[in-house]
Amino acid sequence: MSVNETQDEIIEEFEGLTDWMDRYAYIIELGNTLPEFPENLKTPENLIEGCQSRVWISAEREENGKIRFEADSDALIVKGIVALLMRVLNNRTPDEILDADLYFIDKIGLKDHLSPTRSNGLVAMVKQIHNYAKAYRLLDANNN
């Protein structure tokens, strides 16, 4: 499934939830679907700067050139937001990640319903994911 197909699927899921309490509950539920994050990866290097709560994202390039992310947060809502980002961007190539227009964030109304600090945290998470993608793309360019 492409990045946009995944985003469209998320938008469709949220269309059925008109009340924001239901949407928050669903986001929290999504956070519970994240695979367990290894304690040894909860390092300062993987901690996202600019988030109100603690968020860790690690990345590893697979043999097929795609980036596999692992992520976690100590806040339920944020963990759900991370799960949404992982659903869209995990196991993608650096180019797919960097070319993605993350329109689902606006379409589901997430940006309008986050506090300014959580909104800044979301931007910081996306920036870190992009930084990983840029680093792996550069590494690929240097190896060719």
d(CA 77, CA 119): 12
Closest CA to 115 of 71, 73, 81: 81
Closest CA to 118 of 41, 36, 40, 27: 27
Catalytic residue among 10, 30, 51, 55: 51
Active site includes 46? no
* Alpha carbon 43 to its chain's center: 18
Residue type, 105: I
The catalytic residue positions are 51
